Amino acid sequence: MAKIRHPKDFASGLMFIGFGLFSMIVAAGYPMGTAARMGPGYFPRILGILLILFGVILALRALRLEGGPIEFGSPVPAAIVLGSVVLFGVIVPYAGLVVSTLVLILLSSFASSEFRWKEALISGAILAIIAVAGFVWGLGLQFAVWPTFLGAH
């Protein structure tokens, strides 16, 4: 029987496999469609297959390469990032995509011990521009770009 030499990669591989299987299970009830005319189940299934494939490669790699043990640090940074994402989802309909993205980046930056205001603001502004360009202009999604109380969309 093979020995797990890199526990971090092995655990990551199992996580990818789990998310891939979950994606495939959720998409099982949706019509697949074709590559030319994709149905609602097409993307989740393809994503699931890719995640499973990547997970298997990572888990097999863990049997050959040496690596350190899994170490669990403080849960605070993960809680800050998760809380920032949840807050983004709650405020985006009211604060708009630009302000919500800035809040997300600024708050989640506090999870790092290397937090710098200037870098967080610049990153937030760049990501807000990318989000508006990609989702609102590129895909035509109906997001409020600016806060609704300003009356602008």
Ramachandran sector of residue 96 (left: φ over 0; alpha: ψ -120 to 50; beta: rest): left
| pLDDT, tens only, 32-68 | 888 788 888 888 999 999 999 999 999 999 999 888 8
Q: Where along the chain do its domains lie?
A: 7-61, 76-150
Nearest to 142 by CA among 102, 104, 92, 105: 92
Q: Which two tokens stand for residue 22?
A: 């979950």
Question: Which residue is associated with the tokens 């009211």?
Answer: 94
By the 8 A CB rule, do 52 and 20 touch? yes
Q: Which two tokens stand for residue 58?
A: 């990572």
| pLDDT, tens only, 104-118 | 999 999 998 888 889
